[in-house]
Structure 1
Amino acid sequence: EREMDQDEQNRHAQLARVAKAHKDQIKRERKAVKAAKKSGKEEDGRSGKVKNILRGISEAERIAHKSLFDFFDVDKDKTWGSIEFAQRMTDIGLDTSVEAASNILYFAGVRDIDKITYDDFVELLPKMKAFRIVLEKDCMRYFHQKDPYGYNSISTEDLREILHDMAGPDGISHEQVDGMIKKADKENAGHMTFDAVVRALFGTRPLIQYKPPPGKGIIQTIMESFGGFCSSSSGSKPPPRV
């Protein structure tokens, strides 16, 4: 009888373990379903966000962005990461370590720095655009220093100085500077516009419109120079202001 009681207890214990395992399995399955639904909603929302971003840019810009994504996708597996990013940056003359590439991508808000999909890349576009505008404004500020009267034209030597100033303490090689000057001054005219400078730097037209530096405009400068010339020629003083 004691053996039967022991067997019964063992069966009950075994059934209890089976029941608990079954309940745990159900909990895991329910949790997985909830996670899948949540992930699906997030992906749906993300997909909608990507579509909105692409809808807000031109066809030419979409083609340019896709070409840029494909450029970084060295092994053509439709994703790329910090290693490929570092490789391509180095290929174009900007020595970039994998660690530096990882930091750049991380602070840009990439979810997985070693597996960036096209959708991930598209989500970066607004941030990239904002950063690009900041760089263009900085470039315009340097451009103004070489173009104080707003002619929208600087010399190749002016651009050389601007590039070295913009590079900062990290510096920039003479080969890179010469290459950018060649791109900006395609006709070897010895001078170039702000538009040409930006195209040389970023490969596409400016996102911001060039504005003359605040202060004197071209007409005002000419009139002042002409007025000064007339005064010195006549030898007479201008009448006092009333």
Structure 2
Amino acid sequence: MLRNLTHGGIPNRYVAVPADVTSPLLRKLIPADPIWLRHFLAMEEDVLHPLSLYSEVMRPSPSPHSKDWATLAASAYDSWLRIWLELPEPLHRLTKEVSGQQPVSGKGGTSGYDLLGPDGARHTELYHADLREKDLETLTRLLHLVHARVNGSVRDELSDTLAAMAADLVSPADAAVASPASYVESFDQALRVLLLPAPLALLDVIPFDVSAGTTVILDAQQEEALLAFPTQVSVAVTH
């Protein structure tokens, strides 16, 4: 659970789950974007964690159908955690700022390096992360399964569970605007960024293990690729 993760305590059952090493590694560039990080954290807090509780704690004797989605939900939770662990330390520190666990640092303080254009303009930092293709596929499968229930095309035990989850996640004052769709949309927005292919022009110029105080200066072609990539990210986190 993120509540434990961000305080340094990781549940043992998740620590023990290894990655599928036969699944290809995909090199991604993850932006140090607080909006995206909020969506990424919401994947766990609003969907994966409560779905895990409903499937494992509140339903000790699941039906054969619920076992299917419960198994997928557990696998997706493991996939999310492995992705979380692959995020570099600067993004973990920014996560603590986003979640209010530590004060917001000064400009560039959390990210640890400066990403500049040829004219010296500062850009949102990007970080390398090697993610397993199977983990991204598992999260995508869960999203499709949940989305079919949210949009009303499928009505079953899972759709009832999602509605109950949404009701539990908000205070009575916010109940009028709460819906499973709002949580699934955030999940979708976070996943879209993870699925974006990394611009080839940037993979080599941005160091894999960038150290604090480093300045990376892009040439005009690299800056053009960078400007196109945050546009894709912006679309992913706002639609």
> Taking structure 1 as the reference length, what is the TM-score of the superposition?
0.23
Q: Looking at secondary structure, tell me which structure has more helix per residue.
A: 1
Larger Rg: 1
> Taking structure 2 as the reference length, what is the TM-score of the superposition?
0.23
Q: Looking at secondary structure, tell me which structure has more strand per residue.
A: 2
